[in-house]
Amino acid sequence: MDLVLFKIEIAVESLSAIMAFVIWYYAYRAYRFLSSVSLLFLSASFLLLAIGLISQAAYTYLAMPLIARYRSIFFGEGYLLYSVLSLAAFLILAFAYSINERPATLAPAFSPFKNFITLRASFSYVIQVASTILLVFVVAKIFSEYMTKKSSYSFYVGMGFTFMVVQQFVRLVDIDSDVFYIISSIIQLVGFAFILFAVWRVSSK
Amino acid sequence: MSREKYRSRISIIVDVLKAIGEEGKDQKLTHILSKANIPYSRLTSLLEELEKLEFIKSVENENKRVYVLTQKGRKYIAEYEKFKRFSEAFGLRI
């Protein structure tokens, strides 16, 4: 990835992180007021997403001055951390939607890979597949609620998470393409913007 | 009891506050009882609690005790509605 793309990536990730922090803050306030466990899980998931995005932006920033060979390794480390935090966030989010159901169990299957980078990449991929499955479950739950209550707010939140699913899919099919990677980050940003728009409309009514 | 029918403590409080604030006039205990749909003993203890929190105040009117919703109580209802909309936007039930 060249330096211009690195800078775009940092800007997009930082903006997404700010949006995730705003949504976390509002969800946390809602939890404090309503004492709803689901809202606690919702706020926790957005906090993890925000931390993941911040860490990814920080890793990208720190990787910039390194020579190209080490840069991609360092960037990969950051991406792994981000993927793990995102998976944790989506697990918690899925749990919030299925408190009385059996939670999804995830046991990433390890194979005896020869080198660490391949192992890390494979682990990241497994995490992303799991995250995508969890997100699809969340989107299905939100849209089923939307079909019942026809609330426009639910529609925007559902759209936001749908963009996040698309982002996950793009990253799953992306084979070492820097441009695809940036596009997926922008798609995620649009997703956060949709959710933030719903939060803004809810709070300004 | 199904989750749909279950009322959380906070929604009971809001129902009581709404019953008191209805039509912008002072409300008698019987009116609040019928609107909030909770037992008498529970309602009286809840009213005492809400009075201590300054969400409502009780006044004597023609030898009868009536309840009035305060500004703080109105603000509480508005906050509840806002966070309820937020929760519903995410498809979560409170």
Task: Please identify which residue in the block is written with the tokens 């705003």.
Answer: A22
At A181, which amino acid appears? Y
pLDDT score of A115: 53
**Is the pLDDT at A71 greater than 80, yes or no?**
no
Cα gap A164→A29, rounded to integer Å: 24
How many whole angstroms from its chain centre is CA A47? 10
Positive or negative CA dihedral for A24, A140, A187, A60? positive
pLDDT score of A150: 81
**Is the pLDDT at A193 greater than 80, yes or no?**
yes
**Is the pLDDT at A107 greater than 50, yes or no?**
no
Percent of chain A whose pLDDT exceeds 70: 84
Chain B residues within an 8 Å CB radius of A33: 10, 79-80, 83
Half-sphere exposure of B49 (CA within 13 A, CB side): 12
Point out the least confidently predicted range of A47-56, A91-100, B16-25, B42-51: A91-100
Mean pLDDT of the A161-181 span: 81
Q: What are the distances in angstroms from CA A200 to CA A21, A41, A61, A124, A166?
A: 14, 20, 30, 33, 23
Point out the least confidently predicted range of A106-120, A162-176, B25-39, B65-79: A106-120
Contact predicate B43/B55, CB 8 Å:
no
**Chain A: residue whose CA lies nearest to B13:** A34
Q: Three-state DSSP class for A107?
A: coil
Q: Give the burial string for A42-58 (b: 16+ CB within 10 Å, else e).
A: bbbbbbbbbbbbbbbbb
Domains and CATH numbers, chain B: 7-88 (1.10.10.10)
Chain A residues within an 8 Å CB radius of B89: 151, 153-154, 156-157, 198-199, 202
pLDDT score of A179: 78
Q: What are the distances in angstroms from CA B28 to CA A38, A153, B21, B73?
A: 36, 37, 11, 17
pLDDT in tens, B1-35: 344 456 778 888 999 999 888 876 677 788 888 88
B91 min Cα distance to partner chain A (Å): 5
Task: Please identify which residue in the block is written with the tokens 């940003």.
Answer: A189
pLDDT in tens, B26-63: 777 888 888 888 888 888 899 999 999 999 998 887 77
pLDDT in tens, A140-157: 988 888 888 788 888 999
Q: How many residues in chain A?
A: 205
Cα gap A160→A28, rounded to integer Å: 19
Chain B contact for A153 (CB, 8 A cutoff): yes
pTM of the model: 0.74
A71 Cβ contact list (under 8 Å, min separation 6): A1, A63, A64
